[in-house]
Amino acid sequence: MKIISANWLVTCDENSSIIENGAIVFDDKIIEIDSLENIEKKYSNIEILKLQKNSVLMPGLINSHVHLEFSSNSTTLKYGNFMLWLNSVIKNRDELINKANKKLILSKLEKMKKTGTTTIGAISSYSFDMEACLETPINTVFFCEVIGSKGDMVDTLFADFKNRLDIAKKQKSKKFIPAVAIHSPYSVHPFLVRETLKLAREENLCVSSHFLESPEENLWLNENKGAFLDFFKNFLGQEKAVTTPMEFLNLFSNIKNLSFTHCVEASDIELEKIKTLGATINHCVTSNRILNNSKLDLLKLKDIPFSIGTDGLSSNNSLSMFDELRNALNIHFDKNIVDFSKTLLKSATVNASRALGLNKGVLGKDFDADMIAFSLPDEIEDMNDLAMQIILHTKFVDKTIIGGEFV
């Protein structure tokens, strides 16, 4: 049993509660949270780690959507347009993936930990990142991804996916959880989607999928037109999309933990379906900006929860969640900065935890003891500003606790 105290405990609970001069009692889970005064009286025989002045203790950040296999990219890929980017990914894919060895990916994960991330939703196309995910102290929900739209290849593609998933399942632990990713409606044959989701239901696996990331995807899926038509004709000899957005969404019924990533081109009807499915939207605001895609209209989401993901270094210049939160705060300039900061902290903690089917993201009794500690540069006069000042000023954390252990 351990006790840690800070000037500010940011709980990220339903009420965005904040405890001034609070303390937390924990082992692998949180046992009790209260004022420092009360904790000192109740646990007088246990030494308390008291953090320095202007200290903040909050749940560890959860990056709900990240691609680690492209972690070697910095200036290689084309930005500013989705199709330019996609073609550059295909052109440079082998070189970038070969450079992204275990050592490099582990270095990126270590930097993610230093910048406050304690859990990731890792989308893995080839499982080349699995060894690094097994070695890092960061909790990993490991999404084995299925991809392929050619009907005559579905058996081979499903067998490859199933093999990767079986290997991941053999490594399952408290901190490494196998899951399933459907790449997107334009790139996965409906047979593959159905079989993959059938397996996910049988084994109660978390599921995620990209959905309507770009105008080009939207036009192709709805009208079989645009830049995707040329792309599919050239690469696969296809002149018709394998599905429509609603046909795709209709396949996802009865998935317990479900998320869709991007969704920036989703219509009101499609968003209503996502809500009916009980899904979360993974919001990757920097990636959307870098590829010149639309900004997610948060008002249209109504009460669909959203989480925050960095996407990969294929479409971002940072895997830091604090960088991503700052970008979200600036890009959504129509939102009140003070109130929206509270929403963003919850999206990067409790919302992401629920999307991934975890018991994390809240400083509260019986939640996993995944916490980060850091100090603000000066005192806070108004508690209402705390979330905003955390996002604006925090770049690195001083202490990281995962599963009750300092790492």
Active site residues: 213
Q: DSSP readout, 188-256?
A: B-HHHHHHHHHHHHHHT--EEEEE--SHHHHHHHHHS-SHHHHHHHHHH---S-S--HHHHHGGGTT-S
Best CA proximity match to 205, nearest among 257, 246, 248: 257
**Type of residue at 102:** K
Tokens representing residue 189 in the block: 């044959």
Q: What are phi and psi of 184, to 5 degrees?
A: -175, 165
CA distance 230 to 236: 10
How far apart, in whole angstroms, are the C-alpha atoms of residue 198 and residue 218? 26
d(CA 108, CA 350): 24
Rounded-to-integer distance, Cα 389 and Cα 266, Å:
32
What are the DSSP calls for 248-296, one per residue?
Answer: HHGGGTT-SSEEEEE-TT--HHHHHHHHHTT-EEEE-HHHHHHTT-PPP
Which residue has 């995910």 as its token pair?
133
Q: Which two tokens stand for residue 386?
A: 């705390």
Residue pair 344/296 in contact (Cβ under 8 Å)? The answer is no
